[in-house]
Amino acid sequence: MLDTAKQGTATATVESIRGYPAGHAVAPNVSDYAAFRAAFSWEFARRDLDGLPAGGLNIAHEAVDRHAAGARANKVALRWLGRNSAVQDYSYARLRRLSNRFANVLKGLGVGAGERVFILTGRVPELYIAALGALKNRSVVCTLFSAFGPEPIRARMAHGDARILISTPILYRRKIVPILGMLPGLRHVLLVAGPDDEAGPPGTLDFAKLLAAADENFSIEATDPEAPALLHFTSGTTGTPKGAVHVHQAVLTHHATGKLVLDLHPEDVFWCTADPGWVTGTSYGIIAPLSNGVTSIVDEADFDAERWYRILEEHKVSVWYTAPTAIRMMMKAGLAPLAGRKLPALRYLASVGEPLNPEAVRWGVTAFGLPFHDNWWQTETGGIMIANFAALDVRPGSMGMLVPGIEAAIVRVRSNDGAEAKVTVIEEPGVEGELALRAGWPSMFRDYLNEPERYRECFAGGWYLSGDLARRDADGYFWFIGRKDDVIKTSGHLIGPFEVESVLMEHPAVAEAGVIGKPDPVALEVVKAFVALRTGYTPSEALRKDILAHARKRLGAVAAPKEIDFQQCLPKTRSGKIMRRILRAQEMHLPEGDISTLESA
């Protein structure tokens, strides 16, 4: 068990938890955060990478080929766990050959540099082979989440002008056939057939046959570090998803944050639970672990607490990167599924995607003897920007400190009638404002595809404006307040939903909480909470009063919810984020807007 302590700081008394087991045999990559940050530069980080023999920088070369050419050639790069009990290992050398073959397949089909390769397969090995092969061919990879229905798939493929699609027979029949006539730019569909699948439908090609017939040698042509590599759609939490474009140079951020934040060491077995349909699943489910030369676990199946703990134990996972929703689901399931499991290899836990409630950080210590290290980033940032580091104490509820090489500020933004907004940096610690990043880090998105105006509006005065509200304490830790759109204005106060939700989560009956501002004639808005209960609790008036009383005691009368509704589960994006705008729309009987990423849509 790690020691937790209340520590006095310059700002206030805050809880802190040791970030890394004392005296652990594996020393963290960053042992002195302040010194490391002061000495860091992206030029310095670039030295960890290879660069292409033909010139420039290519993600797939850094992720696979350079390891395949060296001492790690026979090391397991990807270990794929099938939905049933199948396990397949792919060494770096094998991954090189297979991705070379796929690059040749693309070339043979006339798919060129800059053209978009869409992948809709679920988490199967071919997804990884196709993505890496497409990067070698300098095509742009866009992975889609396989649970999307036909319309969200159509919208994204049309928006991204998909040239080629890799899919499976079942997904093709269910989701692509209905929209095929609406994708005039699509030239080829390649299907990854399972052993029981019949011959592919007319008009499709067989992925495996093409791969088998292709040459296993491929020389990556000179790749401009600024050439587009990845297209990622945002989660759609606040509105219509945007298509963020990332370039090959982003690999610098992926590699550096894999090493410095996720603390990847060559011997690690790493498991990122995110689907590559979301940016976390490519940046940290493909690129960062491979570029760092570790063994990366890919699980085909969806969340299941028992299965997950078995994977951690059987495959000796040492670094585990997951998300608050999954952690909350594990908390909901209780500790029973963990009983009897031995996880001596587990060394480092991290989380991203949503604010991580302090309760969840503490639960990590109870369940695994290790805290979850929260970190913050967005589809647009391409990689982790703010993080709790191994060498630093974790402050539960805080997103952590700046990644070396990243400059950020809390700013006030005044819009300026059509002209660029005016940005004022708030120097004073503890003051809330918009979180802004100094533009120009390697994995910064270079465009919102087909929406240049929307892209331009994200920048002002050399800053990228994140749309999130936060504060920074005197020690440099960042604290998330809420999204700009979600902040509640009540009786002259601004209240971030995260703080209220975290307090609700402290109540033993509460598994999940979503908080919104409900219009009110007197207070402008009042705080309203939606709550899902843990297994074993049922909604009742007495429970409602008890939760309200707890919130009032902890938050005071202004910030405490005035109303609580019980729900079976809260509306979430398919990537697991609570969609407060849906709660708001339902509460006010308004249209729900874009629901393409809603879990049940």
Tell me if residue 431 falls in helix, strand or coil. coil
Buried b (16+ CB within 10 A) or exposed e, 117-134: bbbbbbbbbbbbbbbbbb
Q: Whole-number minimum distance, CB 485 to ligand ATP, in Å?
A: 8
Q: Which amino acid is at 590?
A: L
**Closer CB to Mg ion, residue 143 or residue 234?**
234
Give the C-alpha separation, 555 to 544, whole Å: 16
Asked if 167 touches ligand ATP (CB under 6 A), the answer is no
> Nearest residue to Mg ion, using CB?
234
- Binding pattern to ligand ATP, positions 472-501, x when CB under 6 A? --------x--x------------------
> Residues binding Mg ion: what is the number (CB under 5 A)?
1
> For the window 41-60, what string marks contact with Mg ion as x by the rule CB under 5 A?
--------------------
Alpha-carbon distance of 168 to 184, in angstroms, equals 20
**Residue 376 lies near ligand ATP (rule: CB under 6 A):** yes
Helices marked H in 137-214: 150-159, 169-171, 207-213
- Contacts with Mg ion, 207-236, as mask; x by CB under 5 A: ---------------------------x--
Which CB atom, from 100 or from 234, has the smaller least distance to Mg ion? 234
Question: How far is the C-alpha of 338 from the C-alpha of 333, rounded, in Å?
Answer: 10
The rounded distance, in Å, linking the Cα atoms of 269 and 264 is: 9
Q: Residue 325 is encoded by which pair of tokens? A: 């929703």
Q: How far is the CB of 479 from Mg ion (least distance, A)?
A: 18
Restricted to residues 63-122, the positions that interact with ligand ATP (CB under 6 A) are: none
Q: Which is nearer to ligand ATP, 172 or 448 (CB)?
A: 448
Contacting residue, 62, 65, 299, 354, with ligand ATP by CB under 6 A: 354
From residue 516 to residue 555, what is the string marking binding to ligand ATP with x (rule CB under 6 A)? ----------------------------------------
For the chain, the straight-line distance linking the first and the last C-alpha, in angstroms and rounded, comes to 42
- Is residue 171 a contact partner of residue 177, using CB atoms and an 8 Å limit? no
Q: Which of 180, 145, 165 lies closest to 601 in space, CA to CA? A: 145
One residue of 137, 378, 388, 596 binding ligand ATP per CB under 6 A? 378
Please tell me what DSSP assigns to residue 201: P
Q: What whole-number distance in Å separates Cα of residue 582 and Cα of residue 585? A: 5
* C-alpha distance from residue 225 to each of 96, 250, 256, 340 (Å): 21, 8, 16, 49
Output 354 or 525, the one with its CB closest to ligand ATP: 354
Q: Give 394's DSSP letter.
A: B
Q: Does 204 bind ligand ATP (CB under 6 A)?
A: no
CB 174 within 8 A of CB 147: no
Residue 397 found at the interface with ligand ATP (CB under 6 A):
no
Q: Candidates 124-132, 172-180, 217-225, 233-241 — which segment interacts with ligand ATP by CB under 6 A? A: 233-241
Q: Is 238 in the site for ligand ATP (CB under 6 A)?
A: yes
By the criterion CB under 5 A, which residues form the site for Mg ion? 234
By the criterion CB under 6 A, which residues form the site for ligand ATP? 234-239, 241, 352-356, 374-376, 378-379, 399, 466, 468, 480, 483, 575, 577
